[in-house]
């Protein structure tokens, strides 16, 4: 039994939350309905019983009382008055007839009423049938019949006496009549008593039904209450469990998230530092690349004077051998050699300035920077037969990093050079640089008639390590570096597009590439420039 | 410089093509002491002008000229059937032109900065065959002239002997063999052999075998 209960509890415990709740709702609703029905039933029963008690018992009792009263008061009193001869026989017979009529009427209605078995409510009869042993010991139908028979007999006797008396207009045996009336009174009283006891009995039954209904309703209330409480406890437990598990889950997730966060932070910082390292390496690579290019330039610019100086040095030896070494010759050659050496020194200075890292911003004319950049790449440009046209519509004073800007110009010139070398014929290679001012920005347009860049790779040209050049020819970071310098260091913008442009003064249209560099001019500087 | 007779350069004219004015001037200053004439020019146009109007024995040309290229210039003159030995000078980095240079049968290739000894030696090496050619031509002319004024038969015999020398400078033939080749009387032949033997030019090693003694010629 206990095991089964436990099983049920366990089963219930395992039910899902949804079922538990609906179960609770069902139980509460069912209980409510039970209570309501029971209360209704009890109310109706009580009312019914009350009605029955009143109608059936009280009314009939009243009738019996009436009969009794009529006998006692009307008939006996009239007879007494007649005996004492206060009234005439005539008067008395009227009263007596009237009384007899009243008695007959009441008596017949009483009989009808008492024999009339009222139909009861089905439920009440059901309850009565099953739950109550109706106390019927008081109800003795034979006794009642007997009493009624006796009363009938006595009534008939009295009636006969009275009728005889009235007909014969004689004084009959009053004492005997009184005795009969008293006897009938006693019979009626016993009938009343009997009826009363029945009424009491019925009242008791009603009381019992009421008690049973009350008992059931209290039990159902208690049951509903109990079930509700138990279920509520279960549901609350469920809630608690759910809450706890949720809390645990949240805690776990929070922990996981915190760990992930920490891991991510570490990873991000790692990535950032790696990125920074990468950037530094790229900057170094770019610097080395341009350094290499510059070295190439220096090498070439040095080669010629070096060749001349070598020749001069050797000329002394040969002249000596030939015996033609004159003072004049020595003076002349030494002068030339010194000039050449001086030239070489100047070249070195130029490049040295270019490589000296300038951390601080400086004020300079954009024309100077451009001219210097062109000068530095002159060797390569001349070698590849490239003409550079510099068109300065408005010279602008900038306050920014001279060398970095120069690097950018050199990069783009170098790109244009590579493009021109691979696409254009030798006598038709032009780089055009136009400087203009737009609002508060210096705009440098750098064009070349190298045919432009293929549309599908334009979006990639500013990406690091992207190169179309064969292996060692390009590192793929020149334009990336340029973008970094212009956007990050100078807060400017660099963009590229293919255009069709009459780059020469004639009417020929060329497919051109166009790099546009925009560098903000600060207002203070702008004012100063004016 | 000492072990080569650079004096042979004295008779030649050089065309020097170089776009660097300084180098052109200084190299010209050095070279003009060694050669007959040096035409120092800066452009291929001037060079062509010189080639058409002057006698030029050798061309020294830079490969990278201003707006042009020494190789192209050489191709151009080869097309015009002007075959003059050429020395190219170039900066170290321009070895890519080497293949073209070889195809054009350029005599030599000098890397800048120019070492004057190397240049002079190269000039010597290139020009020596020309000098030798001239020498041979001269000697041939001498022999021809001599044979014209003396007994041509004897000259024929000497030619026959020298032409038939083996690796060891030895000559094997009987008088009759010689007489079959050259129409000469036996007494004249015997007299000639005797004369050569006396002067130690022909030494009889064994029967019918003689050794031609070159050293004896120097002692004459």
Together in a domain, A224 and A366:
no
Across the interface, do B23 and A307 touch by the CB < 8 Å criterion? yes
Does residue A265 have a pLDDT over 80?
yes
Q: What is the pLDDT of residue A170?
A: 64
Contacts of A307 in chain B (CB under 8 A): 20, 23, 112-114
Average pLDDT over residues B191-207: 83
Q: What is the pLDDT of residues B131-179, one digit of tens each?
A: 899 999 999 899 888 888 877 777 888 888 888 888 888 888 888 888 8
> What string of DSSP letters covers A458-513?
GGGTTSTT---S-GGG--S-HHHHHHHIIIIIS--EEEEEEEEE--SSSS--EEEE
Contacts of A321 in chain B (CB under 8 A): 1
Together in a domain, A308 and A234:
no
Does residue B41 have a pLDDT over 90?
yes
* CB nearest A318 (choices: B67, B91, B116): B116
Together in a domain, A68 and A120:
yes
* Residue A15 domain flag: yes
Domains along the sequence of chain B with CATH: 6-136 (3.40.50.2300), 150-218 (1.10.10.10)
pTM of the model: 0.50
* Residue A156 domain flag: yes
Higher pLDDT, B50 or A141: B50
Does residue B38 have a pLDDT over 90?
yes
B5 touches chain A (CB under 8 A): no
* CB nearest B23 (choices: A300, A308, A324): A308
3-state secondary structure of B68: strand
Q: What is the pLDDT of residues A212-231, one digit of tens each?
A: 777 877 887 888 788 888 87
Together in a domain, A349 and A387:
no
B11 touches chain A (CB under 8 A): no
* Residue A121 domain flag: yes
Higher pLDDT, B39 or A54: B39
Together in a domain, A368 and A484:
yes
pLDDT band at residue A301, thresholds of 50, 70 and 90? confident
* Residue A271 domain flag: no
- Which residues make beta-bridge pairs with A443? A436, A518
Q: What is the pLDDT of residue A14?
A: 75
B34 to chain A: closest CA residue:
A322
Q: What is the pLDDT of residue B92?
A: 66
* Residue A262 domain flag: no
Which residues, 6 or more positions from B84, have their beta carbon under 8 angstroms from its beta carbon? B15, B51, B56, B57, B58, B59, B77
A296 to chain B: closest CA residue:
B93
Average pLDDT over residues B80-97: 82
Together in a domain, A383 and A434:
yes
Peptide bond into B113 cis (omega under 30): yes
Q: What is the pLDDT of residues A37-90, one digit of tens each?
A: 878 877 887 787 777 777 777 777 788 888 888 877 777 777 777 777 777 777
Does residue A2 have a pLDDT over 70?
yes
Percent of chain B with pLDDT over 90: 16
Average pLDDT over residues B127-133: 89
Higher pLDDT, B12 or A211: B12
Cα A410 off chain centre by: 58
Together in a domain, A330 and A458:
no
Domain boundary residue among A341, A356, A371? A356
User: Can you give the CATH number for the domain in which A381 is found?
Assistant: 3.30.565.10
3-state secondary structure of A399: strand
Greatest mean pLDDT range, A217-221, B9-13, B66-70: B9-13
* Residue A273 domain flag: no
Together in a domain, A367 and A332:
no
> What string of DSSP letters covers B73-141?
HHHHHHHTT----EEEEE-GGGGGGHHHHHHTT-SEEEESSPPHHHHHHHHHHHHHHHHHHHHHHHHHH
Q: What is the pLDDT of residues A337-391, one digit of tens each?
A: 999 899 888 888 777 776 666 667 888 888 888 988 888 888 778 878 888 888 8
Instruction: Give chain A's domain count.
Output: 3
- Mean pLDDT, rounded, of chain A: 80
A302 to chain B: closest CA residue:
B113
- Which residues make beta-bridge pairs with A390? A433
Together in a domain, A373 and A421:
yes
Average pLDDT over residues B95-113: 84
Domain boundary residue among A356, A391, A423? A356
Find the domain containing A346 and state its range. 279-356
How far apart CA B81 and CA B76 sit, in angstroms, is 9
Contacting B with CB below 8 Å, chain A residues are 300, 303-312, 314-315, 317-319, 321-322, 324, 329, 333, 336, 340, 383, 385
Together in a domain, A351 and A369:
no
Together in a domain, A167 and A69:
yes
A309 to chain B: closest CA residue:
B23
pLDDT band at residue A471, thresholds of 50, 70 and 90? very low
Across the interface, do B116 and A314 touch by the CB < 8 Å criterion? yes
User: Can you give the CATH number for the domain in which A300 is found?
Assistant: 1.10.287
Together in a domain, A294 and A419:
no
* Residue A266 domain flag: no
Which DSSP symbol is given to B6?
G
Across the interface, do A304 and B26 touch by the CB < 8 Å criterion? no
Contacts of A308 in chain B (CB under 8 A): 20, 22-23, 26
* Residue A71 domain flag: yes
ipTM (interface predicted TM): 0.72
How far apart CA B185 and CA B164 sit, in angstroms, is 20
Domain boundary residue among A356, A373, A396? A356
Across the interface, do B23 and A311 touch by the CB < 8 Å criterion? yes
């Amino acid at each position: 039994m206990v095991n089964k209960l436990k099983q049920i509890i366990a089963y219930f415990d395992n039910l899902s939350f949804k079922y538990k709740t609906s179960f609770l709702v069902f139980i509460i609703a069912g209980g409510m309905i039970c209570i309501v029905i029971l209360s209704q039933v009890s109310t109706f029963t009580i009312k019914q019983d009350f009605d029955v008690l009143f109608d059936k018992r009280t009314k009939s009792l009243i009738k019996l009382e009436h009969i009794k009263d009529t006998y006692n008061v009307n008939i006996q009193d009239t007879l007494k008055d007649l005996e004492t001869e206060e009234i005439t026989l005539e008067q008395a017979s009227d009263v007596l007839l009237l009384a007899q009529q009243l008695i007959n009427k009441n008596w017949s209605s009483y009989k009808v009423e008492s024999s009339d078995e009222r139909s009861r409510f089905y439920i009440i009869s059901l309850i009565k049938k099953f739950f109550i042993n109706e106390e019927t010991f008081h109800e003795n139908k034979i006794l009642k019949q007997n009493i009624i028979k006796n009363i009938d007999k006595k009534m008939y006797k009295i009636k006969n006496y009275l009728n005889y008396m009235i007909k014969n207009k004689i004084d009959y045996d009053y004492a005997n009549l009184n005795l009969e009336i008293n006897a009938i009174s006693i019979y009626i009283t016993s009938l009343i008593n009997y009826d009363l006891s029945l009424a009491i009995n019925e009242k008791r039954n009603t009381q019992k039904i009421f008690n049973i209904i009350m008992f059931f309703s209290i039990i159902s209330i208690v049951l509903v209450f109990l079930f509700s409480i138990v279920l509520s406890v279960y549901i609350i437990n469920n809630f608690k469990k759910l809450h706890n598990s949720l809390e645990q889950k949240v805690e776990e997730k929070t922990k996981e998230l915190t760990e992930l966060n920490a891991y991510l932070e570490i990873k991000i910082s790692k990535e950032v530092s790696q990125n920074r390292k990468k950037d530094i390496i790229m900057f170094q690579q770019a610097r080395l690349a341009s350094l290499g290019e510059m070295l190439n330039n220096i090498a070439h610019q040095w080669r010629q004077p070096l060749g001349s100086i070598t020749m001069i040095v050797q000329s002394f030896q040969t002249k000596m051998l030939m015996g033609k070494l004159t003072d004049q010759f020595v003076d002349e050659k030494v002068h030339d050699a010194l000039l050449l050496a001086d030239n070489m020194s100047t070249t070195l200075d130029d490049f040295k300035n270019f490589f000296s890292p300038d951390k601080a911003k400086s004020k300079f004319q954009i024309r100077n920077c451009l001219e210097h950049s062109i000068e530095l790449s002159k060797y390569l440009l001349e070698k590849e037969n490239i003409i550079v046209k510099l068109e300065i519509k408005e010279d602008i004073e900038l306050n920014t990093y001279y060398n970095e800007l120069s690097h950018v110009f050199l990069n783009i010139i170098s790109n244009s050079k590579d493009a021109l070398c691979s696409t254009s014929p030798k006598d038709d290679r032009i780089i055009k640089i136009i400087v203009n001012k737009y609002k508060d920005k210096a705009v440098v347009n750098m064009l070349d008639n190298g045919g432009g860049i293929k549309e599908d790779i334009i979006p990639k040209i500013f990406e690091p390590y992207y190169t179309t050049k064969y292996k060692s020819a390009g590192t793929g970071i020149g334009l990336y570096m340029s973008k970094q310098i212009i956007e990050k260091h100078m807060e400017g913008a660099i963009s590229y597009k293919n255009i069709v442009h009459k780059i020469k003064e004639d009417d020929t249209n060329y497919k051109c590439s166009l790099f546009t560099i925009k560098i903000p001019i600060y207002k203070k500087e702008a004012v100063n420039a004016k | 410089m000492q072990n080569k007779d650079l004096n042979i350069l004295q008779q030649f004219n050089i065309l020097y093509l170089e776009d660097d004015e300084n180098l052109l001037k200084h190299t010209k200053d050095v070279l003009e002491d060694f050669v007959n004439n040096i035409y120092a020019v800066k452009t291929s146009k001037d060079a062509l002008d010189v080639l058409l109007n002057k006698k030029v024995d050798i061309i020294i040309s830079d490969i990278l000229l201003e707006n042009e290229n020494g190789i192209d210039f050489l191709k151009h003159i080869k097309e015009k059937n002007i075959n003059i030995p050429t020395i190219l000078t170039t900066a170290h980095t321009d070895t890519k032109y080497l293949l073209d240079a070889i195809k054009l049968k350029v005599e030599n290739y000098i890397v800048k900065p120019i070492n004057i000894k190397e240049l002079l030696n190269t000039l010597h090496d290139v020009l020596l065959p020309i000098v030798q050619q001239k020498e041979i031509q001269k000697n041939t002319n001498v022999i021809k002239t001599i044979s014209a004024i003396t007994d041509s038969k004897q000259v024929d015999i000497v030619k026959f002997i020298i032409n038939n020398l083996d690796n060891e400078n030895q000559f094997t033939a009987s008088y009759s063999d010689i007489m079959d080749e050259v129409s000469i009387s036996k007494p004249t032949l015997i007299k000639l052999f005797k004369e050569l033997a006396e002067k130690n030019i022909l030494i009889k090693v064994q029967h019918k075998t003689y050794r031609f003694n070159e050293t004896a010629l120097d002692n004459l």
